[in-house]
Amino acid sequence: MDKQYFLELLHKYLNDKATDEEQQFLVKYYDLFSAEADIISLLSDEQREKLKKEISVSIWENIDKHIETDKKTVPLRPWFLRITAAAAIIGICGFGFLFLRHKAGIKPGASYTTHKQKPNLFLVLPDGSRVILSYGSKLSYASSFAGLAKREVYLIGEAFFDIKHDNLKPFVVHAGKVETTVLGTAFDVKAMPGDKTITVTVTRGRVKVSDHNRLLGIIIPNQQITFNKQRSVSTQNSIDARTSTIWTAQGDLYFENVTFGEAAKVLEERFKVKILFTDQLVQSKYFTSTFDKSASLDQALKSICEFNDASYSYDKKKTTITISNKFQTN
């Protein structure tokens, strides 16, 4: 979260010009900046109390909303688009990294929803598995898989899964009537609400696909199972899996609270390079950003490195990139 942008919103708030979304944004991030002298000096005691009360109300509304369940929804809110203008002001290389902010290692919540006007969403599950969620889709899962016999998630829409291997704890994707079970592999599930079919496509490993207790098939890379929801029948075909997963490499991609190391995996796949880290601290730093589909590899690396106090070198012959701490000494 950029302090200058926060100050700009605060000035609008004091002049009664802030929109509802901008006021919500101030409420959300006030605690991060409440100790800053130049911010405190702008607010009267009454104004500070008003913001604190709004924060309190917001917290309790959130508790009341989710008190009956262990799951929560984290939408990509409309005010995110307004933040993109601030990112341009603070000079994020003038391309598609619209917003970056550091956090103290907060992990993703229990459910994510992407809206149709938003980019695809890259997220990391509690077990370290990586997911690219297509815009307009929803993925729900427990906040922790610890103590559970299975790692279960519930999908509406389309998602690409790269699952961390665990022999003792199968990973299960529920999509309508279809269950996809793996131990550790990469695959795509498409289960759009209005479609007549559900498809499962494997890019790596092996996947078991079932209709409740009925086995539909076991598929390997470049194989696909298509399940007809109305007739409850399925077909299995050999295909080029890249045609079903091409959407993951196209369009904008929203990184929410992921580490540099996790984001590097996506860059490796998009640009067909190998990324190495010489500094564990840099690799484990969290950030949030939108990755523009038109951005080059150099643009992407420059922006992420800038916000993570890192530098990089690119060996084009070996197609290898090395990320280092900008301030490390040799």
pTM, full prediction: 0.62
Distance CA 99, CA 4 (A): 13
- Does residue 110 have a pLDDT over 80? no
- Does residue 186 have a pLDDT over 50? yes
Q: How many CB atoms lie within 10 A of CB 44?
A: 9
Domain ranges of the chain: 3-68, 120-246, 253-325
- Does residue 53 have a pLDDT over 70? no
Query: Residue 19: its pLDDT value, please?
Result: 75
CB 272 within 8 A of CB 242: no
Tell me which of 101 and 41 has the higher pLDDT. Answer: 41
Query: Residue 91: its pLDDT value, please?
Result: 34
* Phi and psi at residue 202, to the nearest 5°: -105, 135
Share of the chain above pLDDT 90, in %: 39
Average pLDDT rounded to a whole number, residues 283-291:
87
- Does residue 220 have a pLDDT over 90? yes
The reply to whether domains 120-246 and 253-325 share a CATH topology is no
CATH top-level class of 253-325:
alpha beta
Cα 40 versus chain centre, distance: 33
Tell me which of 247 and 84 has the higher pLDDT. Answer: 247
pLDDT digits (tens, 9 = 90+) for 189-209: 999 988 999 999 999 999 999
Average pLDDT rounded to a whole number, residues 209-213:
87
pLDDT digits (tens, 9 = 90+) for 294-304: 888 898 899 89
Query: Residue 310: its pLDDT value, please?
Result: 93
**Over the range 180-213, which residues count as b (16 or more CB within 10 Å of their CB) and which as e?**
bbbbbbbbbbbbbeeeebbbbbbbebbbbbbbee
Query: Residue 291: its pLDDT value, please?
Result: 79
Closest CA to 283 of 310, 260, 257, 255: 260
Distance CA 90, CA 98 (A): 10
- According to DSSP, the residues that pair with 191 across neighbouring strands are 157
Least confident of 58-72, 74-88, 118-132: 74-88
- According to DSSP, the residues that pair with 162 across neighbouring strands are 130, 186
pLDDT digits (tens, 9 = 90+) for 171-181: 999 999 999 99
- Domain 120-246, architecture per CATH: Sandwich (2.60)
Distance CA 87, CA 94 (A): 8
Least confident of 29-43, 200-214, 310-324: 29-43
Average pLDDT rounded to a whole number, residues 147-157:
92
Distance CA 85, CA 231 (A): 49
Q: Which residues contact 326 (CB under 8 A, 6 or more apart)?
A: 305, 309, 310, 311
